[in-house]
Amino acid sequence: MVFMIKVERMPVLLFVSLLYSACLWAGIEESVSEESTRPTVTPEELGNYTFKNEEEDIFVVSDLTRVQIQHLASMRLIAKDLLARKAGVISIKGRQQDVAALQRMVDRRVLRTDQIEEWQAMGVLFGDILVNEFSLVWVRYEDELGISKALRWRKTDNFVFPVPVFSKRVKYREKINVQAIYDQIVIDIKRFKAWEMKLKLPKVKKSS
């Protein structure tokens, strides 16, 4: 089913509403807040958590579905509209410079803790920054915990989950420092890229 929506001079909020309704009409196979359904643990619980061996991890990665692509598009519109109305930010480039704009939105405290969809919409914009800065790709990630939209580097088993990056911190009333979050993820990305490149380097035989 194809939805044709004329957007000329249409208010942003109305367009967002129509696009989101279109996604629902198309039959969304995951809930709007699919990432929020994944179990989370507090730092205290994490210390006592028993992790599975890597061999036991079972997950399926595939291209985004048409509905997921539409959902991401509607979330981007929601986040950009919020930034324009609440923080005065009208230009989002999907680059590192947008980190400051996201922080401005956090500092204005215009979103309540229960506005999960809006916080996750901000997470989508954060994910777009990582996509453009580090050549990651949005994918559909499914494991025993559920279905998520994730970022993947090439065809490796290295993933970043940006959508709930703000909503889960809000849930536990943690302070959100967007730059610090970005810097830590950058370190992690550089590490797994270096590791993958190391695995591909040819082995050099030692001379006798």
pLDDT digit string, tens, across residues 95-149: 999 999 999 999 999 999 999 999 999 999 999 999 999 999 999 999 999 999 9
CA angle at residue 119 from 3 to 58, to 5 degrees? 80
43 is a domain residue: no
106 is a domain residue: yes
Both structure tokens of 175: 């302070």
CA distance 106 to 176: 7
How many structural domains does the chain have?
1
2 is a domain residue: no
**Percentage of the chain exceeding pLDDT 90:** 66
47 is a domain residue: no
The predicted-structure confidence for 141-180, as pLDDT tens digits, reads as follows 999 999 999 999 999 999 999 999 999 999 999 999 999 9
Q: pTM of whole model > 0.75?
A: no
* pLDDT of amino acid 22: 46
Q: Report the CATH number at residue 26.
A: 1.20.120.1090
154 is a domain residue: yes
102 is a domain residue: yes
Question: Are the beta carbons of 3 and 69 closer than 8 angstroms?
Answer: no
DSSP-derived secondary structure for 123-189: HHHHHHHHHHHHTEEEEEEEETTEEEEEEEETTSS-EE--TTTTHHHHHTT----HHHHHHHHHHHH
- Tell me which residue range forms the domain holding 71: 12-37+58-196
Both structure tokens of 167: 């909503």
- Identity of the amino acid at 14: L
Question: Are the beta carbons of 167 and 112 closer than 8 angstroms?
Answer: no
* pLDDT of amino acid 6: 39
202 is a domain residue: no
Residue 59: strand pairing partners: 143
* pLDDT of amino acid 205: 60
Strand order in the sheet with 136-143: 59-62, 136-143, 146-153, 159-160
CA distance 187 to 168: 21
45 is a domain residue: no
**Residues with Cβ < 8 Å from 66, sequence gap 6 or more?**
26
